[in-house]
Structure 1
């Protein structure tokens, strides 16, 4: 089996990611009622995409030992918490969606994969200052809306042109102590 798509099936209970078939490449169990913690360190080495959005998963997750072929990780709309380390994502990684959880702590964007295209970290409790100088040129969607970020963020002009919108509103809105400057 290379794919497991069982989204919107009212599935309940827990899932042990380490028990997925060893050759599985794509998993989508979004929009169910799955609970428990997620041990991403135990994902099979072949997983390229993992979609677990809109469930009831809890606890902390580690992004530091993901399979090297993983490109897409969507854990949005769960009850996940704790800090998130973005410094060890796989080289080919392109999409990370963690919005609408309870993640917290500071964010370090200095070592993102160069092919990263999408990052949605909105509606969490991330705090502190952020530095966007090393955002990959490949990024087409980036948002940290509705967190508790502070300080001044300098938004590169090419990012403003690429998103073709006011980055203060579309990417950073809801961070009341954050000042957005175009550079």
Structure 2
């Protein structure tokens, strides 16, 4: 259903109970999203590039969810990154209006990619407990501050130009390789 000019709202509670993949990205869907009502079987949820609004909770997602993209909407609120499902590998929240602090100290071990750029996240971040599975972390163009210490093993894993690639646009943030 990607890019089919679909309009209107979606009630995720009415998805079939055995649904595993939902991709409604690139449409013109509106309204709020209640992710708490997703069927327990959903592994992939793609709702990027729509016009969804309001606050979203990531605290009660299906435990088997591996991929979540809510990028390029008008979503807001804070994100509890310590409550993500254990199977989650990819999280795309870029280009929204999310705010608040980011806690990377208890991410799922399965997490490989997190795109949190172009939001309003603020405060300091701690990368000391990132798992070896993490391949991409983008927090560009937010309002992060302080000093972020990037462990040597993570620094090598990410792009060599880490400061401009992953952290660019956070004017009060200093990136230190440790």
Q: Deviations over 1:119-166 (max 9, x none)?
A: 000000000000001111101111100000000000111112112322
Contact 2:159/2:165 (<8 A) preserved: no
Q: Tell me the residue number matched to 1:132.
A: 127
Root mean square deviation, CA, Å? 0.6
C-alpha separation in 2, matches of 1:164 and 1:76: 22
Unaligned runs of 5+ in 1: 1-5
SS class of match (1:151): strand
The structural deviation recorded for 1:71 is 0.6
Paired with 1:28 and 1:136, the residues of 2 have a C-alpha distance of 28
Matches within 5 A, 1:15-54: 15-54=10-49
Q: Structure 2: any 5+ residue segments left out of the alignment?
A: none
Q: Which residue of 2 aligns with 1:14?
A: 9
Aligned length: 178
Pick from 153, 156, 159 the counterpart of residue 164 of structure 1.
159
Q: Name the TM-score, length of structure 2 as normaliser.
A: 0.99
**SS in structure 1 of the partner of residue 36 of structure 2:** helix
76, 100, 105: which one aligns with 1:81: 76
Q: TM-score, normalised by structure 1?
A: 0.96
Q: Is the 8 A contact 2:97 2:119 kept in 1?
A: yes
Inter-partner Cα distance in structure 2 for 1:36 and 1:136: 35
Cα deviation, 1:19-60, whole Å, max 9, x if unaligned, reads 101100000000000000000000000000000000000001
